[in-house]
Structure 1
Amino acid sequence: MRTVLNILNFVLGGFFTTLAWLLATVMSVVLIITLPLTRSCWEITKLSLVPYGNEAVHVDELIPGEKNVLLNTGGTLLNLVWLVLFGWWLCVMHIVSGIAQCLTIIGIPVGIANFKIAAIALWPVGRRVVSVETAQAAREANARRRFQ
């Protein structure tokens, strides 16, 4: 079922959203000061192309132990730069694409996936795209660690 939904996503607008993420990735490389954003941008590009079966999780959920203070402070600054340069127009694009997809009955699941990616587009630094199974295992491990 994931494959069918991913193909449907690609046909109903995922191709264009993925191209926009690729453009943002290239722009983040060209504007040298935004080079640290490239990894996050590439991660979300993968999610935009194949949203079903993958999930964007924060690295704090994947790596057990203490919170990384440097990632949190530096990540916040990078996210602010991201929001001003790239995040707002990628978010708007995913919202418009999601609304257009939800106008068709068959596109509703894909539209909902675009709305989820739109929220991630605003604040992507520190997120990694992993399989749904890996994300679930990380959540279970974090829950066990909290209750011990």
Structure 2
Amino acid sequence: MRTLLNVLWLLLGGIWLAAAYFVAGIIACLLIITIPVGVASFRMARYVLWPFGTLVVRQPNAGAGSAIMNFIWFITVGWLLVVVHVITALTQAVTIVGIANAVVSLMMIPVTAFPFGKELIDRDDPRALYMTSLVPTR
């Protein structure tokens, strides 16, 4: 099911979002101080290309450095990528099939705006049970 959702996502806007992140990463890598922003942009490009089955988890040990990098990210490319997500969601919501994808695109906005201090892990990764609320209760 995840593969079907990912293919549908890819066809209905994921490829364009990933291209936007890729271009933002290339632009961010032009200056030395923004190279970490470029690396984060490439990481996010992979996430928006194939999002279903990937979890976004907060890193508990993220400190002031990630807050500073989130500020630099938002000022340089984050706000523009948020606008791209909103435009993509609006165009996806035109069709009935695209409404679910539009919701997913809007749910990605917090990660798009502030990606530092977060980790992307596969849902099948054993760490996913301990890093999220997926821990089974008795």
TM norm structure 1: 0.81
User: RMSD in angstroms over aligned alpha carbons?
Assistant: 2.1
The answer for unaligned runs of 5 or more in structure 1 is 61-67
* Greater fraction helix: 1
| Conserved? CA contact 1:97–1:114, under 8 Å | yes
- Which residues of structure 2 form unaligned runs of 5+? none
Counterpart of 2:96, as a letter, is: I
* Shift of residue 3, structure 1, vs aligned partner: 0.8
Return the match for 2:74 from 67, 78, 83. 83
Determine whether 1:96 maps to 2:87: yes
Q: Secondary structure at the match of 1:88?
A: helix
Greater relative contact order, per chain length (Cα 8 Å cut-off, separation 6+): 1
The one-character-per-residue Cα deviations of 1:26-84 (angstroms, maximum 9, x if unpaired) are: 12211211112233222211110001111221222xxxxxxx3xx41011111111111
Residue pair 1:40, 1:126 contacting (<8 A) in 2 also:
no
Identity %: 27
Give the equivalent residue in structure 1 for 2:13.
13
2-structure distance, mates of 1:109, 1:32: 39
**Which consecutive segments of 4 or more residues in structure 1 shift more than 6 A?**
141-144
Alpha-carbon distance between aligned partners in 1 of 2:17 and 2:36, rounded to the nearest angstrom: 21
Match of 2:49 in 1: 49
Contact 2:74 2:114 in 1 (8 A): yes
Letter in 2 for 1:100: T
Q: Count residues with an aligned counterpart.
A: 135
1:63 paired residue number? none
